Amino acid sequence: MQSIKLPSKRPSSPNPILNLSFRIFFSAAALFAVVTMLLWAFVFTGHTDIDAQVLNPLYWHGHEMVYGYALAVVAGFLLTAVKTWTGVMMPHGYKLLGIFVCWLLARLSWLGFGLGITLIGDSISWLYIAAVFDMVFVASMAYVICRAVWQVKQYKQMGILAKLALLTFGNGLCYWGIINADMNTTKIGIYFGFYLIIGLVLTIGRRVVPFFIERGLSIDMGTSEPIKLHNSKTQDIASLVFFFAFFISDVFYPNKYLLTVIALGVAVINIVRLIGWYHHGIWQKPLLWSLYIAFLGMCLSFLLYALQPWLGYPDSIAMHGMAIAGVGMMTLAMMTRVSLGHTGRSIHQPPKTVSVMYGLMVLVFISRVLLPLVDMNHYLMWIMMAQSAWIACFMLFCISYLPMLARPRPDGLFG
């Protein structure tokens, strides 16, 4: 007699925003991007009671941009992508909520410290609490990914766990530096995480940017032959090697001659990549030109790293260029695209506000990076303009995307 395998129970969650991780983490990342930048504007101008003796306010800002905002986007992306790669259902419903709450409590603790609120007699207690929840957050995320990969024996995906381990190590360095009043260690931890995120963006960007351009333009333009963009394995290896050398040099061995050569190497290799990826059709598709502009901004930032020792402008300009293009613009471009596709909506008909969002992020880059290069006399004004554009950008994302992230898919599927 032939046995009939009954279908497994349909997954469910108390609210659609808890169906898959991208929904709640992308929503939270966007809201956090607004809140933390508003608070940073007050911290930067000295309007909060943050304890600068415990933690340099610049490092407070840097930590939350890397391990708060960026890591939330990484969590939303990975916990969704692993389901696609392995076919194993990722946490949803209350299990997903449990992982998210750990991230949220860590962020609220950092916000408490940034506001200068005392807890048990001092404000550093907030950071001890944050350390616990940050570590539980990453550990729980790593556990569910490891379990899924092990279940289907896709051991090649174990590299994801290595990256999470490195991010945890970097975050641990930050907390170790804070606990031991060693701001240099905290600084290394922040830059360690920052460059690891940039390395991930370079790696993932090399795959998705040409793929999305090829697929998007081939379908829309209806050409007889599919569009094929140039890629080179040699460029991939060279970019990885030069970037790793750049990271080691900038964090551990800041020699201006060495830094110039390797930063220039990363820039040239990736500019050549961009030339091979160019197609005039991208300018008709905001979801495509945003990715291209983000990659271009990273290339320009590497050039600024190369020139900084010789032209003498603040090194924070190059670093912020990399952060705005590689973290801000690239994550925004990915979130606006992934949120459409995974909620069952057409990526060829994004909200009309996406072009405005991308334009505001370009304005952030211009205001925070390019304008100070030509006019340092109005440095504070340029920073405030960049902060305002950043906040407006993510407020638009919240208005345009949070409703679709919180609603069921139009096709009725779970996801």
Assign 213 to helix, strand or coil. helix
Is the model more confident about 108 or about 410? 108
- With CA atoms as reference, report the closest residue to 305 among 362, 267, 251, 270: 267
Residue range 366-393: mean pLDDT, rounded: 95
What pLDDT was estimated at residue 222? Answer: 56
What pLDDT was estimated at residue 4? Answer: 42
Q: How far is CA 201 from CA 28, 167, 399, in A?
A: 20, 14, 26
Domain-located, residue 120 = yes
Tokens of 44: 């930067």
How many residues does the structure list for the chain? 415
Is the model more confident about 71 or about 209? 71
Report the distance separating Cα 199 and Cα 214, nearest Å: 23
Domain-located, residue 410 = no
φ/ψ bin of 278: left (φ > 0), alpha (ψ from -120 to 50), beta (otherwise):
beta
Domain-located, residue 34 = yes
pLDDT at 94 over 70: yes
Q: Work out how many domains the chain is built from and give that number.
A: 1
* Span 59-78, pLDDT tens digits: 999 999 999 999 999 999 98
Range of the domain at 342: 16-405
Is residue 153 very low, low, confident or very high in pLDDT (cuts 50, 70, 90)?
confident
pLDDT at 3 over 60: no
Domain-located, residue 264 = yes
Domain-located, residue 377 = yes
- With CA atoms as reference, report the closest residue to 321 among 361, 273, 277, 288: 361
Domain with residue 208: its CATH number is: 1.20.210.10
What pLDDT was estimated at residue 289? Answer: 94
What pLDDT was estimated at residue 2? Answer: 41
Task: Report percent pLDDT > 90 for the chain.
Answer: 60
Q: Are 30 and 398 in contact (CB under 8 A)?
A: yes
